[in-house]
Amino acid sequence: MSDVFKAVKISDHVYWVGAVDWKLRDFHGYATERGSSYNAFLIVDEKVTLVDTVKAPFLDEMLARIASVVPVERIDYIVSNHAEMDHSGALPATIQRVQPEKVFTSIKGQEALKAHFHDNNTYTTVKDGETLSLGTGTLAFYETRMLHWPDSMLSFYDADGILFSQDAFGMHLASAERFADEIETSVLTYEATKYFANILTPYSNQVVRQLERVLALNLPLKIIAPDHGPAYRQDLNWVLELYKTFAAQRPVNKAVVLYDTMWGSTQTMADALIEGLIAGGSAVEVFPMGVQHRSNVATALLNAGAFIVGTPTLNNMLFPTIADVLTYVKGLRFKNLIGAAFGSYGWSGEAVKQAEQILRDMKVEIVTDSVRTKYVPTQENLQECHQMGKTIAAQLANLKTG
Ligand code: FEO
């Protein structure tokens, strides 16, 4: 194995020594159709320093990449920027193998690592703004709490102008390329949007605050190197501006419609509603949840203006696929949405009210009465759904968007 996996030099002193997870398709409930990568970085300075590690099963691959540059025992320091196990899973075994002089992490990082591994490893905690000389260059640490865990911090290595940004600016994308400028922009935009929507949305305010605070330091930034996906070395403003746009969640004239169906009635209602939205001039993204994934709904909601939910009633409850996706997107705390609910039922019909209540809990502004149909919709019911679509489209058209 050691002859197969090589490090990739990404700047004068820094090598990528991570792992590409080509077959990953589920990241704690997030569908990763393009796989992912766990980026670890080796700084070869007088003090050889490893920044973050990889998911536990990729330990040997990471060690092999390191060994293609220096013997692993040459590592003096390890930095843990983020304790989530896709970056710390291989840390205990790496410490055991390398026996580094010190392992640096934030105060919250130490708490989190102890609570994960329950071992006797000793961590050296660093405070916001603290620096560490590596010889030629200096590493500076910046705490970025809740971007996206309490322990999260960024590290900046001044000799190469490289910001190790852990999950910030990351994306789930398995690729042979290590830099964003080698990858098609449409792929980057989609995967960056999906990552933000599914991981960072609840912390949008902190994202902007923390990033603006670090950027205000006017660091001589040349490369942004996240823990997932490619690094950025050209047009850093592209990704910085993208993040500001994501965090603002300014609604556009687009409705997200999701539904599921038992015997076709709620689907027929959805079809009438969608026609109404289109007739009213609204863009539409439609998610039949029997064949769609919750994380794609989250991606669509990041810049949507409306969120409309259709659910049959099953045993007095929401249809299970709808309960799943509503639980997921409620936790992500999307902002600036209007919406409504609809669906068919047989005799009790609670589900539409339950969906509407969840929308209210999400602070979605309910702008039109819900529509419920007993068993199979009549022409009159379908007209109501069509009108619901037109009403919402009219509201979207009046939005101050962009
Ligand atoms: Fe990639 Fe929050 O871990």
- Whether 2 shows a pLDDT value over 80: the answer reads no
Q: For residue 402, what pLDDT is reported?
A: 45
Q: Work out the burial of residue 306: count CB atoms within 10 Å of its CB; fewer than 13 is exposed, 13-18 middle, 19 or more buried.
A: buried
pLDDT in tens, 261-317: 999 999 999 999 999 999 999 999 999 999 999 999 999 999 999 999 999 999 999
Interval between CA 197 and ligand 1 midpoint (Å): 14
Is this structure's pTM higher than 0.85? Answer: yes
Q: How confident is the model at residue 384 (pLDDT cuts 50, 70, 90)?
A: very high
Q: How confident is the model at residue 400 (pLDDT cuts 50, 70, 90)?
A: low
Does residue 132 or residue 234 have the better pLDDT?
A: 132
Q: Average pLDDT for residues 368-380, to the nearest whole number?
A: 97
- Whether 1 shows a pLDDT value over 80: the answer reads no
Q: For residue 30, what pLDDT is reported?
A: 97
pLDDT in tens, 111-124: 999 999 999 999 99
**DSSP code per residue over 336-349:** S-EEEEEEEESS--
Interval between CA 228 and ligand 1 midpoint (Å): 8
Interval between CA 61 and ligand 1 midpoint (Å): 19
Q: How confident is the model at residue 213 (pLDDT cuts 50, 70, 90)?
A: confident
Return the ligand 1 atom nearest residue 170 CA: 1
pLDDT in tens, 153-211: 999 999 999 999 999 999 999 999 999 999 999 999 999 999 999 999 999 888 888 88
pLDDT in tens, 41-73: 999 999 999 999 999 999 999 999 999 999 999
Return the ligand 1 atom nearest residue 228 CA: 1
The amino acid sitting at 226 is P
Interval between CA 85 and ligand 1 midpoint (Å): 7
Least confident of 10-14, 114-118, 147-151, 155-159: 147-151
Q: Which residues line ligand 1 (CB under 6 A)?
A: 82, 84, 86-87, 148, 167, 227-228
Write the secondary structure of 40-106 as one string of H (helix), E (strand) and C (coil).
CEEECCCCEEEECCCCHHHHHHHHHHHHCCCCHHHEEEEEECCCCHHHHCCHHHHHHHHCCCEEEEE
Catalytic residues: 28, 82, 84, 86, 148, 167, 195, 228
Residue closest via CA to ligand 1's atom 3 equals: 84
Return the ligand 1 atom nearest residue 167 CA: 1
The amino acid sitting at 363 is K
Interval between CA 314 and ligand 1 midpoint (Å): 36
Q: Average pLDDT for residues 63-90, to the nearest whole number?
A: 98
Question: CB–CB of 134/43 below 8 Å?
Answer: yes
Report the percentage of the chain scoring pLDDT > 70: 99
Phi, psi dihedrals of residue 300, rounded to the nearest 5°: -70, -30
Return the ligand 1 atom nearest residue 148 CA: 2
- Whether 401 shows a pLDDT value over 80: the answer reads no
Chain centre distance of CA 71: 34
Residue 152 CA to residue 142 CA, distance in Å, equals 9
